[in-house]
Amino acid sequence: MERRTFLMGVASATVLAGAGDRVNLAIIGLGGRGLRHIQDYAKLSGCRIAAVCDIDAGRLERGQASVLSATGANPKAFSDLRKLYEDKAIDAVSIATCNHWHALATIWACQAGKDVYVEKPASHNIREGRRMVEAARKYNRMVQVGSQGRSLSHRREAIERLREGVIGRVYLAKGLCYKRRKSIGHKPDGPIPPGVDYDLWCGPAAKLPFNANRFHYNWHWFWNTGNGDIGNQGVHEMDFAVWGLGKDRLPATVVSTGGKYIYDDDQETPNTQFTVFDYGDCQLQFEVRGLLTGTESAVTADGEHYIGNIFLGSEGYMAVDVNGYRIFRGEKRELLSDIKYREAEKWDNLPHMQNFLDAVRSRKAETLNAGIEIGHRAAALCHMANISYRTGRKLQFDANREMFVADSDANGLLTRNYRSPFIVPEKV
């Protein structure tokens, strides 16, 4: 039987019997983020971590041990997510794989009747993000993207203040991703590590010779598997910027410049990048710096990083970061509010994961704080920036068709050449 036919046949097989039932959950991808998923879900009473999955046997074993330690239960173990999706006892999956796997893992899960929590960025490219939205709608799945800032109380409060007009009419949002990144150096190609299914790890991406610098975590810095820091840490601030602007569509133009400065290493993506999006009535600016840098405005430090957002309005400005938010008003820029929040909330995933589990039970997608349409939009902004950077020019964008205007080079980067059988379909 064709895999697609099988998955569609079981698309509605895993519906929770009642609101009081626990969600049987599987964690896919057991690197640092996946292990964090285990620790966080283990704290929530509404779910049971029933399975773990990874292509690396060592990570799979550590993941099982982590679940056992955190919950006292030994989960099933899968090296291939396709086998996991055939397990009808699994209600939902939490995906913490590399970016290039996010879309296909989500689409297959939807087709198999699983609800999905997928880490940011939602997609590796714009076209597959739209397919994810379509899959969630077609199969009536709850799909939450891991933009946990949407569920943090101080960020939600800051948005409410903006909506109330505390700084007047907002004309510019600026996202800052000044996250210190050290050089990855150079490494030669080499043998595939024992216990690693490298073909499955590559999945939809081109299967290049194995190189440790393109593998665990450093895959972020290569176009084949990652999206640079604008699509890694930056997508959090990008999402918050567009949320603050109140825009539910993509902008008309984008221009992005920068480069990989200072370092001589294997990294492909820029470590310095500046992007401007034009919405007609307002602007979104975004900066990435991985090198030594200062900050700007009232964004505060988080260790050696400066990460946050600035909103400028007709009557003042607001700065928001992991430590809270500040509001300045009037010609004298007088401090109106300096709201600080507890240390534990800075990067807290629990409210966001709880919001996902609640939606799994209620079957109300509109209650998701970062549903797939929201996640797709934030990721698409990052992809638009990278496409402008890679083509080296300002681009016009048709938001209705999600295509660039009269630019075949840019439109060629809306999707990728997929490797069979790991193909994101045109119709889900």
Q: Does residue 7 have a pLDDT over 90?
A: no
The string of pLDDT tens digits covering residues 304-334 is 999 999 999 999 999 999 999 999 999 999 9
Kindly state the percentage of the chain with pLDDT values over 90: 92
| pLDDT, mean of residues 140-164 | 97
Q: Please, what's the b/e burial string for 212-221 (b: 16 or more CB within 10 A of its CB; e: otherwise)? A: ebbbeebbbb
Give the pLDDT score at 20: 52
Quick check: 223 pLDDT over 60? Answer: yes
| Torsion angles phi and psi, residue 149, rounded to 5 | -60, -25
pLDDT at 269 over 60: yes
Cα–Cα distance for residue pair 222/232, rounded to 1 Å: 12
Name 285's bridge partners: 174, 276
| pLDDT for 273 beyond 60 | yes
pLDDT of residue 409: 98
Check residue 341 and give its pLDDT: 79
Mean pLDDT over each residue of the chain, to the nearest integer:
94
Separation CA 59–CA 63 (nearest Å): 6
Judged against a pLDDT cut of 70, whether residue 140 lies above it is answered with: yes
Q: What percent of the chain has pLDDT over 70?
A: 94
Query: In this predicted structure, what is the pLDDT of residue 340?
Result: 87
- Name the amino acid, one letter, at 231: G
Distance between CA 151 and CA 388 in Å, rounded? 31
Cβ count within 10 A of residue 362: 13
Strands 253-259, 170-178: pairing kind: unpaired
Q: For residue 16, what pLDDT is reported?
A: 55
How much is the pTM? 0.94
Sheet containing 92-95: give its strands across.
76-78, 47-53, 23-28, 92-95, 115-118, 143-145
User: Do residues 410 and 396 touch, judged by C-beta distance below 8 A?
Assistant: no
Listed range (75-79, 87-91, 112-116, 302-306) with the worst mean pLDDT: 302-306
- Asked if the model's pLDDT at residue 410 lies above 60, the reply is yes
**Residue with the two structure tokens 């993509």:** 250
> What residue segments make up the domains of the chain, in order of their start?
3-150+350-371, 152-185+196-342+379-411
Would you say the CATH fold of 152-185+196-342+379-411 matches that of 3-150+350-371?
A: no
pLDDT band with cut points at 50, 70 and 90 for residue 12: very low
Res 343: pLDDT: 65
Q: What is the mean pLDDT of residues 291-305?
A: 92
Classified by CATH at the fold level, domain 152-185+196-342+379-411 comes out as: Dihydrodipicolinate Reductase; domain 2 (3.30.360)
pLDDT digits (tens, 9 = 90+) for 323-373: 999 999 999 999 999 988 766 577 789 999 999 999 999 999 999 999 999
Measured CA to CA, the distance from residue 151 to residue 158 in angstroms comes to 12
Is the pLDDT at 11 greater than 70, yes or no? no
Report pLDDT digits (tens) over 193-213.
999 999 999 999 999 999 999
pLDDT confidence of residue 10: 41
- What are the CA-CA distances from residue 192 to residues 34, 210, 214, 223 (Å)? 22, 6, 12, 20
Which whole number is the average pLDDT over 37-56? 97
- Please check the confidence at residue 6 and state whether its pLDDT lies above 60: no
Q: Residue 261: pLDDT band by 50, 70, 90 thresholds?
A: very high
- Mapping DSSP onto H, E and C, the string for the chain reads CCHHHHHHHCCCCCCCCCCCCCEEEEEECCCHHHHHHHHHHCCCCCEEEEEEECCEHHHHHHHHHHHHHHHCCCCEEECCHHHHHCCCCCCEEEECCCHHHHHHHHHHHHHCCCEEEECCCCCCCHHHHHHHHHHHHHCCCCEEECCHHHHCHHHHHHHHHHHCCCCCCEEEEEEEEECCCCCCCCCCCCCCCCCECHHHHHCCCCCCCCCHHHCCCHHHHCCCCCCCCCCCCHHHHHHHHHHHHCCCCCCCEEEEEEECCCCCCCCCCCCEEEEEEECCCCEEEEEEECCCCCCCCCCCEECCEEEEEEEEECCEEEEEECCEEEEEECCCCEEEEEEECCHHHCCCCHHHHHHHHHHHHHCCHHHCCCEHHHHHHHHHHHHHHHHHHHHCCCEEEECCCCEECCCHHHHCCCCCCCECCECCCCCC
Q: What is the pLDDT of residue 54?
A: 98
Would you say residue 224 has pLDDT above 70? yes
187: left (phi over 0), alpha (psi -120 to 50) or beta: beta
**CATH class of the 3-150+350-371 domain in this structure:** alpha beta
- Residue 120's identity, in one-letter code, is K
Q: Please compute the mean of the pLDDT values over residues 129-142 and round it to a whole number.
A: 98
- Rg of the chain over all Cα atoms, to the nearest angstrom: 21
